[in-house]
Structure 1
Amino acid sequence: MRMDRINVTGRRWRPADWRRRVIAIVSLLALAVSGCSSAPSSGHPRPAASASIESPGQRCGGPQASGRIVTLAASDGVRLDAAEVGSGAAGVVLVHEYPADLCGFWPYAVYLSQRGLHVLDLDLRCFGSSACPPTDAARADLAADVSGAVAELHRRGARRVAVLGASMGGTVALAAAAEPQSAVSAVVCLSCHASFTPHVGGTAVPLTVGAAVRVIRCPALYVVASDDPHLKRGEVQALYRDTGSADKHLDVLTGPQATTHGWDLLGTTDSGWTAVAGTVAAFLVRTTAAT
């Protein structure tokens, strides 16, 4: 929501004119406050105060599931927005593509919730409605957002929490899973990059996880199209090979999905979900089941 500036030009105002002007402005503000109960506009980003009066379905244009917009803190304290849907002990954090926001994953978040998963669909810092910290170093710490979201799902009742990321989000998910004492129970990467440099709030942030994946021990699933136009499948195959987990899987897609990238591998609510959507959901359910 943006506030338009009011520019006053013209003749010089006398003191009496200014007094009348102030009284008029105060009256208008009082009327505006009394009318603030109407529904928020659909544009975003929005200030933090508006998030609590909006549903994910309203923000994203559907599906209209019983989800809610929540605010949480990254592990370094940055305020983040997310859409929560579902409940229970099996949790999953969804991490969006670049330069999108949580709305791209929202339909799949609902799909996962219908399969018993407790989902937190995240806006990374400086994207969507999340806050954007002032320093380059703080903007670069995207993995702190995932760590904060995983911790938030634990606070909301989840016992095991997986992370699913698409494209840039997959790279961020891997970085979070590779952190010392990570609480990530499993990680899924859809067309994720070994190295990628997004602009986060105007700051170029180099993300490199090629070496980091060697320390990952949680279950991992990689999915990539054979002729992905945005990255070479060998990049994903190398990540899979170097991942330290004993429970790891790689799906290379051919045929109709040979040139599909990121969350488009899952399909849409309009065209129907693909086999990948079911494979990913089954992996998430298995790896977050209580032990």
Structure 2
Amino acid sequence: MAMVFSSLTPVFIAIICVLIGLLLKSSKRNTKQEESKTHKKAASRPWVDEDLKDSTELHVEEDDDGGEWQGLEDNIVHIPFSMEHYSEEDMVKRSKDFYELLNKRRSVRFISDEPVPREVIDNVIKTAGTAPSGAHTEPWTFVVVEDAEIKHQIREIIEEEEEINYEKRMGDRWVNDLKRLRTNWIKEYLDTAPYLILIFKQVHGMLPDGKKKTHYYNEISVSIACGILLAALQNVGLVTVTTTPLNCGPRLRVLLQRPVNEKLLLLLPVGYPSKTATVPDLTRKPLEDIMVTI
């Protein structure tokens, strides 16, 4: 019996070696397939911009001080609050009037070079700054550009990247979806608009001692401020088009001398519509398609 087992041992060893070899080949093949899938997935969305990635998650700093308020007073005084109390009739009228005003808002790509009072721009940005923010960190910076040369440099940077976006990064589906809106990488309005407003999100702040100050929900906070800014611009009769310059953030940040903790979220060319301005004849979803009552 021992002799039979002894003679079979080399056979068993050989079989085991073959099986191990097959398993290793299978594992390598699966790894390559996974790498290929990952590569294809990345290649299908190469337009995702690091600056535009959502950064709303909470970051716990390694040097967390155990809960002390970050550079502000420990106790904030609370004061009485009051506001206008409208009658139901006035509320309905005001809500309807405000809707009618904002329903006229359109993305306008043909902007006149007619001057706009700077005080108006200051006021609409102050209005945007009334937005709520996580722990009242106010993580926004509004860079207003009116210098013609800098506006043109911004245009050159954006058009260079946008041509690549349209030709290579965005993909056929996205480009085809934009054809009906007649958009392309040519951004003449970046030169003609009296003002360019670039909105940066501060992914963190800096304390006097050099430590990072956490900006909670900075993406959401700045996005709310942008929405209020759009409403404020509509309220004073100015037009804009919301633009997210893909892959331009770092170069524009250097051009505008902004610190590394600021990431470009949105660019708004602001002015009056040109006399020959046109917009797509679009309709908005009715209330029943955007609201659910439970």
Band the TM-score falls in, shorter-chain normalisation: under 0.3
TM-score of the aligned structures, taking structure 2 as reference length: 0.21
Task: Please identify the structure whose Cα radius of gyration is greater.
Answer: 2
Name the one with the larger helix percent.
2
Bigger RCO (CA 8 Å, 6+ sep):
2
